[in-house]
Amino acid sequence: MNANTYILAQLPYRKPFLFVDEITSVSENEITGNYRLPEDAYFYQGHFKDFPITPGVIHTEIMAQIGVVCLGIYINHNALYNNKICVLTSTEINFLKSSFPGDKLTVKSKKVYFRFEKLKCDVSLFNESGDVLARGSISGMLTDFNPNE
């Protein structure tokens, strides 16, 4: 099983809250992945009236899912088998440009550190033209997870 297939299978999300289409490259220190914004996504229905743009919180979630959770799965590939998932603990994001329905977005993330089950990354979000839409740092923590409790 290749890294893309493995990581996608381990993600703790499902549609409509899954914001990862593919992982295009991954190593112990960085990850790149893509997500295409569906034209009929639920969050466009009221944001903004007659001029849908992607909410910043969705940009943040795309960056967190690809840039921290997917990289965390790769770094600690046994995390979910040990009933652990990576949950968001902090963000500091600067929003620079908007994205729109149908846009294909790319996340590039570089590990700052992974210690004591905490992963911190510098993450950037790009559109298909290569414009930076957002950048900042995101941290996640591996935490115990038991869906039956």
Note the pLDDT tens digit of each residue in 4-36.
898 999 898 999 999 999 999 999 999 999 999
Q: What dihedral do alpha carbons 124, 67, 100, 22 form, nearest 10°? A: 130
Catalytic residue among 47, 84, 97, 110: 47
Note the pLDDT tens digit of each residue in 28-57.
999 999 999 999 999 998 888 889 999 999
Please, what is the average pLDDT of the chain?
91
| pTM as predicted | 0.93
Is 59 catalytic? The answer is: no
Domains of the chain: 3-144 (3.10.129.10)
Note the pLDDT tens digit of each residue in 73-113.
898 875 555 667 788 889 999 999 999 999 999 999 999 99
